[in-house]
Amino acid sequence: MKIFRFIFAAAISTLLSLTCGAREYNGPLISDEAPLFGGVAVSADLVGFSMKAIGGKFANMEVSGRLNFMEKYFPLVELGIGECDKEGGDNSNKFHTRAPYFRIGADYNFNRKFNGNRFFGGLRYGFTSYEYDFDNPTFQDAVWKTQDPLHLHGLNGRNQWLELAIGVETKLWSIVRLGWSLRYRMKLRQKVSEMGEPWYVPGFGKNGTTTFGGTVNLTFDVGKSAKSNKKKK
């Protein structure tokens, strides 16, 4: 129920903002002004790096690159490193993993106005191959009373998933953009050790059939789009 509230609030806040902005706009439309190829942009997700900096349980630290076609279509690639160190709340269990992940997909910009702001939806395919560790230093047999630490290291996992994204982005200054996106991730395939599933999957988040995530992207236009943005400024 909390998840539905979360999505509902996000969607409403986004739509309201865009609707309010629509009444004030008298500028050019994308269909009239946008070039066929609008350039390249690179970005970094500030959430992942922030979570790492404040010592969060897990962090997806990622960068991405995307192309811009007609200010509407944005094929993109996202590369990152997912890291997790999780300890059990009431026991001495420890889970650890750190591995790269990849996503490929595209965004579509729903904003018809050529004003530098974007409201986009997108689809991504994600993949990761990783190793994970599980430790229980106080692993004890209750009847035979033998205690032998459990150190399961280098367990292999592979995941593939689909990701739906919605988000907004605005031009802050010249070639600098800031935006956020919400992600809904759906597991396609998972191969893990028979000893146990990972608590966290790099790039996917907490292991499960579906999960939510989000990014806050600081984006820089480079190449052709950077030049056009400077001219507009």
Residues that bind other proteins (CB under 8 A): 2, 6, 9-10, 13-14, 16-17, 20-21, 47, 86-91, 93-95, 117, 134, 136, 139, 141-146, 148, 150, 152, 167-168, 170, 178-180, 182, 194-197, 199, 206, 212, 214, 216
Q: Which of 169, 157, 147 is nearest to 201 (CA)?
A: 157
Q: How far is the CB of 129 from other proteins (least distance, A)?
A: 21
Nearer to other proteins, 22 or 37 (CB): 22
Nearer to other proteins, 227 or 233 (CB): 233
Q: How far is the CB of 37 from other proteins (least distance, A)?
A: 26
Give the other-Cβ count within 10 Å of 131's Cβ.
Answer: 15
Q: How far is the CB of 170 from other proteins (least distance, A)?
A: 4
Structure tokens at 59: 């962090």
Give the other-Cβ count within 10 Å of 191's Cβ.
Answer: 10
Q: How far is the CB of 89 from other proteins (least distance, A)?
A: 5
Q: How far is the CB of 21 from other proteins (least distance, A)?
A: 6
Q: Is 205 helix (H, G, I), strand (E, B) or coil?
A: strand
Q: For the stretch 153-164, what's the b/e string if a residue is b when 16 or more beta carbons lie within 10 angstroms of its beta carbon?
A: eebebebebbbe
Nearer to other proteins, 75 or 214 (CB): 214
Q: Which of 18, 16, 81, 7 is nearest to 44 (CA)?
A: 81
- Those residues with Cβ within 8 angstroms of residue 94's Cβ, 6 or more apart along the chain or in another chain: 85, 86, 87, 88, 133, 134, 135, 136
Nearer to other proteins, 67 or 93 (CB): 93
Nearer to other proteins, 93 or 228 (CB): 93
Q: How far is the CB of 62 from other proteins (least distance, A)?
A: 15
Contact status, residue 120 vs residue 170, Cβ threshold 8 Å: no
Nearer to other proteins, 20 or 36 (CB): 20
